[in-house]
Amino acid sequence: MSDTFQIYGYNFQVKLLATLFRDKPFLQQITDILHPDFFESEANKWIVKSISEYFIEYKNSPTLDVMKVKIDAIDNDVLKASVVDTLKEVVRNFDGEDTQFVKDEALKFCKNQKLKSAIVDSVELLQRGNYDEIKFRVDEAMKAGTDRDIGHEYMVDIDDRFSETTRQTTSTGWDVVDDLMDGGLGPGELGVFVAPAGIGKSWGLVNAAAHAVKSGKTVIHYTLELNGAYVGLRFDSVFTGIAAQNLKFYQDNIKEKVAELDGDLVIKYFPTKTATVNTLKAHLDRCTMLGKKPDLVIVDYADLLRGTGKEIRHELGNIYEDLRGMAGEYEIPIWTASQANRSALDDDVIGAEKIAESYSKIMTADFVISLSRKIEDKIAGTGRFHVIKNRFGPDGITFPSKMNMSNGQIQIFEQASVQGKSAQGQMDQGSEAMRKRLATKYNEAQPPVEKSKDPFENLQ
């Protein structure tokens, strides 16, 4: 067996160096058994030595700015030029698709080298009859490369708590909501839209997904109610602003708009109650393998997944727990929706007590926001978003919104803002229009009033 990474080739070594820069837990795990001599070129050896020294001193991966300072201190011009060229290749491989394979193979190689060295040293120890030392050496070799991440070390990892990479969020596209969420939904977190049937929760999910795609993210949208093509039409409306019924007349415009998008979108349909959370996991693995690793997952909606449990409330509770577990396992944010009780149709604001079947949905989710739209709101094109739960900041706040259900455009405003006051004004107009409409219907429903007869009219 070769004693260097030569057996894997040059590209493998470059990808391994890229992983050392980008993956702190992996660097922590391998740093004690990764030797510079395992690499072929002098540039690679210098880079891995610099990374290891920096990590030992600062408990973190060096940035490219740090490497620039270190490179400037190199006296050998040939080595300096070679290191710069290699680092350029490393940067190009920062987002490699086969990172996990590189990590697994590198760990296996380094562990084998450590065990091989322990066995060679044991020959001399065996001749001296030092069996305890042999056992110690072999045991240490077997433990080499084990995961050293025991958790967040509070006294040591102070900088990590304030690092911008601590929680990399995906924006919803609504500034007032993002502000409450400290930027949006982060990896491993579950957000829930709550609304009665036919109010617009699916449109809310489409809006959040569309904003992520426009921001350059890869989104996988699971639909358990409407087929994939129909959901695709909803995205067409949100991206273009064209009313759904008119989309067929503007196909060229849609194609142009889609071509301008920076992100990617996959819409996958599963019939109601046929898919489990494990079904979604299998599909996510397939997408990742095909180069479409998601930055955001939408599940429309979780209540329609198939779960386990003798009672429906237990089944739904398990689904939401498994869904949040999937978010943590794959390190992605997940947005879904939940049905509100029928009685919520008459409420100005929908609270936690109106969520259908299982309160454990609220307990499991990180962020829960409800949408209420009475008949007056449908007339006025308005609605109210109410923050039920927020692990990232304040809750119990209600925002007015403007909602155009012909093209799915949803805007959410601060109450005190100009737009918020305008939306509230539209709500008031909708209430007045509804009052007049009901009054008209009431009057139309009343029997005609007969003219009272003169009791003496028939007397001659």
What is the model's pLDDT at position 415?
85
CATH 1.10.860: does it fit domain 5-143? yes
pLDDT surpassing 70 at residue 437: no
Q: Which residue has the higher pLDDT, 143 or 407?
A: 407
Rounded Cα gap, residues 403 and 397, in angstroms: 19
Residues 270 and 231 sit within 8 Å (Cβ to Cβ): no
pLDDT surpassing 70 at residue 76: yes
In angstroms and rounded to an integer, the radius of gyration of the C-alpha atoms of the chain is 31
What is the model's pLDDT at position 25?
85
Residue 408's region, left for phi above 0, alpha for psi from -120 to 50, else beta, is: left
- What confidence tier does 358 reach under pLDDT thresholds 50, 70, 90? low
Residue span(s) of the chain under CATH 3.40.50.300 come to: 175-441
Between helices 42-58 and 64-72, what is the axis angle to 10°? Answer: 120
What is the model's pLDDT at position 408?
93
Rounded Cα gap, residues 113 and 116, in angstroms: 5
Residue span(s) of the chain under CATH 1.10.860 come to: 5-143
What is the model's pLDDT at position 85?
93
Beta-strand pair 190-195/334-339: parallel
Who's near 450: CB < 8 A, 6+ residues apart?
Answer: none
- CATH homologous superfamily of domain 175-441? P-loop containing nucleotide triphosphate hydrolases (3.40.50.300)
Q: Which residue has the higher pLDDT, 437 or 239?
A: 239
Residue 145: name the closest of 106, 119, 99 by CA. 106
Between helices 312-330 and 277-289, what is the axis angle to 10°? Answer: 20
Q: What is the pLDDT of residues 257-290, one digit of tens each?
A: 999 999 999 999 999 999 999 999 999 999 988 8
What is the model's pLDDT at position 185?
95
pLDDT surpassing 60 at residue 460: no
Hey, which bits of 207-314 come out as E strands? 218-223, 264-269, 296-300
The pLDDT of 134-155, averaged and rounded, is: 64
Residues 224 and 271 sit within 8 Å (Cβ to Cβ): yes
